Each structure stands twice: as C-alpha cells, then as structure tokens.
Amino acid sequence: MEAVVIHAPKDLRLDTMQGAPTPGPGAVRIAVSHGGICGSDLHYYLHGGFGTIRIREPMALGHEVSGIITDIGAGVSGLSEGDRVAINPSRPCNDCEYCLRGMANHCLDMRFAGSAMRFPHEQGFFRAQLTLPARQAVRLSHKADLALTAMSEPLAVCLHAVAQAGSLIGKRVAVSGCGPIGCLTIAAAKLAGAEEIVATDISASALDVAKTMGADRVINLAGHEGALEGLQAGKGQVDVLFECSGAPAAVVAGCSILRPRGKMVTVGLGPETPLPMTVIVAKELRLMGSFRFDPEFATAARLIDSGRLDVKPLLTGVLPVAQAQEAFELAADKTRAMKVQIAFPAP
C-alpha cells in the first residue's frame, strides 16, 4: 500500500508499505480517506524533528485522518463495514497511574501516531490502510464529509484547552495566534458561551479567517506599536487568554492584557519563555497548560459531522497522495495556507 514517509529533512517519499493486516478480535481495518498536515508533520518534514526528538528511521507521517471501515474483527460492536469514521491517533495504555486517574492524555505508555519519540517510531496514519483497535474509530453519519471530519484531532485539542479555562459564559476572551489551532479555539470558545472574542496575530490573512471562525474583534500586531493598549487599560481587560502561538513575546503580552485573577491557557508550543513574575504575582494570574485531549476527540468528530461547528473556512486545499510533496510545501507556506490535506484513493 502507499504511504507518505519521511526519511530525512525535506526527504519525503511515497513509499510502498506492507498492507494493513486482517483485523483480529476488537480491531477494525480502515481505508484512509483524508489526512491533514499538522505543525508536527511540518517539523519532521522541514527539520527532521523538533527539540531532542529526531527521526532515526523512515516514518509514515500524519495523525489527523478520517476513513471508511472495510473489515471488522470479532467482538466489535457499534461499527460496521462501510461506516465512515474519524480516527483517534492516541492509544493510551488504559492501565498506568494516569489512565486510571482519568488523565489518559498523560499516559505513561502513550502511543501517538506519527511520533518519533519512541524507537522503533510510532508510524503515522498517512497510509492507504490502517488496522487499529476499534476504540480508536468514532462512527460518523453516512453522509459525513471526510475532509472536514479529518479535522477532529485539532478541534479536540482546542476543546480540551477551552475546558481547562472553566466557564466562559459572559467572559471576554482573547486568542493569541490564529493558525489552525487558534482559529479552532475561537470556534470552541464561541460554542462555550464567550461573550466577546478578541483575536491577535501578525498576519492579516490569518485574522480574516479568525473573523470567519467567530472572532468579534481582531488586532494586527505587525508593526503596530501600542496595538494592545486598549486591552491593557485598568490592569487589563481580558478574562481568559488562550495563547496559541508559542511565541515568548505573546506570553509576556498576554500577562499585560489579563485582568487581575485572569487565566492564561497555554496551547501553543515554543521555546522556553521567561515569565514576568512581578505581573503574575501582583495581578494574581492563573497560568495553566493544555496538552492533547482524551474524551474530547469523539465530541469534536460529532460537532463537525453535525455541522454545529463549521471548520470549512480552515481548509485551504486537498491534494492527491501522489502530490504529497507539493501538499507539504503548500502547508509550510503560511502566507498561502491554513490547513492542507492529502487525499487517498477511494477503496
């Protein structure tokens, strides 16, 4: 079967891999339909990894995928051949301390698709077929748009982040960084009842998408000194900030616009960041991280499938798997692309 495999930085190949095996008890075989290129995929493609995590062997990329079930193993219930599904890339052990505490996103033995953290690496989902435990497949409606539902994974990240903040009803929310995660966080915050959402970025095109996804007000920080002055007045005007850029300057600026006892949820990953501790202490700010997701994945898939949350404005383009290299080059160009997907031939 065909697979999109990274061998080294900028060495992306369409390789032939052994077909997915016949599913055993509790498993299903899925024909992959669509797969979205994520920021981590781009790090592997452009740099061979990130931080200390490096490619040490060829690895299929991809973890944002949807597909159609082609085979069912014994003992599987609630799924049938021909079902359209969103595929959860997380496979927690369900047995470690954190899984048993209901924090499976912190599993000590997590297997996450398309990750070089382990060796041998955990192969990704940009493959024509997958055989997986049935619990990783979320059944969709028979008319589900498989391009849109392939965005269930990034939306799940954002739903988890919004849940970290507690109730948003009546709150003024800011979202810093309006890439796919920032824009989906805007949509999730709106769904959660935020009264006003302010989006900030340095890209006019990203801010245009942010408006479409539900931002009430946008602020372009590029070359606009003092652009945040209005939000900094009176010790700060923002109740909750979702920091989605990972930029150190954005974290510092975020502390300046939060009200006393405001909350900052850090979603974006970036370099280590010195914190303005005087401001944090004096304003009694709450800072919290947000990492991956767990039960939110199924919720995300159903929100997209039902149309309650429209992710279509994020989809820049869908290229066939034969043009995977072109798809990655497009996805890497943030002036042209928000979310780029690869499509596999129908089974």
> How do residues 176-201 score in pLDDT, each as one tens digit?
999 999 999 999 999 999 999 999 99
Q: Is the CB of residue 13 less than 8 Å from the CB of residue 59?
A: no
Residue 347 has pLDDT above 80, yes or no: no
- The predicted model gives 91-116 an average pLDDT of 97
What is the model's pLDDT at position 346? 85
Band of residue 158 on the pLDDT scale cut at 50, 70, 90: very high
Residue with tokens 């820049």, as numbered in its chain: 316
User: Is 271 a residue whose pLDDT tops 90?
Assistant: no
Q: Are strands 339-343 and 27-36 parallel, antiparallel or unpaired?
A: antiparallel
Segment 235-262 mean pLDDT: 97
Averaged pLDDT, 231-237: 97
Total Cβ atoms within 10 A of residue 117? 12
Token pair for residue 260? Answer: 């006393």
Average pLDDT, the chain: 96
| pLDDT on residue 276 | 95
Closest by CA position to 2, among listed 35, 39, 45, 44:
35
Structure confidence at residue 223 (pLDDT):
80
Rounded CA separation 250/221 (Å):
10
Distance CA 143, CA 172 (A): 36
216: number of Cβ within 10 Å? 15
Both tokens assigned to 91: 């496979």
Q: Residues of the chain with pLDDT > 70: what percent?
A: 100
User: How is domain 158-289 classified at the CATH fold level?
Assistant: Rossmann fold (3.40.50)
185: nearest Cα among 152, 208, 204, 162: 162
Where along the chain do the CATH 3.40.50.720 domains lie? 158-289
For residue 318, the model assigns a pLDDT of 98
| Phi, psi of 90, rounded to the nearest 5 degrees | -90, 135
Q: What is the CATH number of domain 2-151+311-343?
A: 3.90.180.10
Per-residue pLDDT band at 269 (split at 50, 70, 90): confident
Q: What distance in Å separates the CA atoms of residue 283 and residue 260, rounded to the nearest whole number?
A: 4
Q: Name the pLDDT band for 89 (thresholds 50, 70, 90).
A: very high
pTM score: 0.95
Indicate where the chain has its CATH 3.90.180.10 domain(s). Answer: 2-151+311-343
Q: What are the phi and psi torsion angles at 281 (to 5°)?
A: -70, -50
Q: What is the mean pLDDT of residues 194-212?
A: 97
**pLDDT > 90 fraction of the chain, expressed in percent and rounded:** 96
